[in-house]
Amino acid sequence: MAAPPKMAWRAAGGPPGDRFAGRSRNRLRGTMVKSYLAAAALVALTLTASAAWAADGALAEIQKAGVIRIGTTGDYKPFSYKGADGSLTGADISMAKDLAASLGVKAEFVTTTWKTMLDDFKAGKFDVALGGITVNPARAEVGDFSVSNVSDGKRPIARCADKDKYTTLEAIDQPTVRVIVNPGGTNDKFAHQHFKKAPIEVFPDNKVIFGQIAAGKADVMVTDGVEVDLQSKLNAGVLCPVAVKEPFTHFENAYLLRKDPALKAAVDAFMRKELDSGNWKKKLDAAMQ
């Protein structure tokens, strides 16, 4: 016998011989829908739970590991530099240790350079970068910046005999003025942006760069005001802050953090406490000696 048309099957509740014909077929369909829904709910629940686990923020990860990894250059007095015994010291290094203690974890220092800091940060080599770091858009794009701990500006430093000579960008940007700069940071960018006629020497070792000016191998460096003041003090009578009317720029220093609202809130709370209590000022004053 020829099979009835499909429509007829549907009207009859199923093809001939279908054991789930009629009402029992509909009941089965209902049961199947229910179990699909239950399975879907289970999958959704599992996914949500594992997403929450995977999305453990940076702070939760740091606390789970018991360690906060601090990236720093170790070449910028008074913030982050190497002491006589080779160990990291400076105002921000001292802050990093206190920050770790406030989070209940250990500080592990990872040395980086101004040139590679951002790539190292993006590669996940550390949780926080600190040590006289200027807030700028390229850095703010890849991490969160904490509350600032220094407001500063770029100014020139030169041999004391020249302290009234290089007071403007025009006076510095002359073919006869030898500008010197450390590589990879905001100084480098500033020098190449503003000095077109003056020869620029990019000197690799920031720790001894000021000796080059003192020894007459270069004439002037434009750098952060804090550094100008400290190096003038450390090289008293030889190097002096150039008598500019106004710093050439204004900027803030802060700590660059892995993006995580909880980490930012914790570091900001720590920073505010250190600023309000005068602890940060004490640390900075001690490192400026």
Ligand X SMILES: O=C(O)C(=O)C[C@]1(C(=O)O)C=C[C@@H](O)C=C1
For binding to ligand X (CB under 6 A), which residues are involved?
Answer: 76, 114, 132-134, 182, 185-188, 206, 223-224, 227
What is the largest distance, in Å, between two alpha-carbon atoms of the chain? Answer: 116
**Residue carrying structure tokens 């403007």:** 168
List, in sequence order, every residue forming a beta bridge with 220; answer none if it has no partner.
158, 179
Please report which helix (H) or strand (E) contains residue 226, including its range. Answer: helix 225-234
**Which one, 81 or 109, has the nearer CB to ligand X?**
81
Taking the least distance from each CB to ligand X, the nearer of 8 and 215 is 215
Rounded to whole angstroms, how far apart are CA atoms 83 and 77? 10
Alpha-carbon distance of 72 to 61, in angstroms, equals 20
Q: Shortest gap between Cβ of 98 and ligand X (angstroms)?
A: 22
Query: Closest distance between ligand X and the C-beta of residue 114, in Å?
Result: 5
What b/e string do you get for 160-172 counting C-beta neighbours within 10 Å, with b at 16 or more?
Answer: bebbebbbeeebb
| Cβ-based nearer residue to ligand X, 57 or 153 | 153
Cβ closest to ligand X, residue 94 vs residue 182 = 182
The least distance separating ligand X from the CB of residue 274, rounded to whole angstroms, comes to: 20
**CA dist list (Å): 98 to 74, 75, 85, 173, 274:** 18, 21, 21, 43, 10
Q: What number of CA atoms fall less than 13 Å from residue 256's CA on the CB side?
A: 26
Cβ 138 vs Cβ 264: under 8 Å = no
CA 204 vs CA 32, 81, 186, 188, 235: distances in Å: 71, 15, 14, 11, 20
Nearer Cβ to ligand X, position 103 or 287? 287
Nearer to ligand X, 103 or 134 (CB): 134
Determine the angle formed by the axes of helices 91-103 and 279-287, rounding to 10 degrees.
150
| Least spacing, CB of residue 188 vs ligand X, in Å | 6
CB of 134 to ligand X, least distance (A): 3
Residue nearest to ligand X (CB): 185
Residue closer to ligand X, measured from CB, 9 or 190: 190
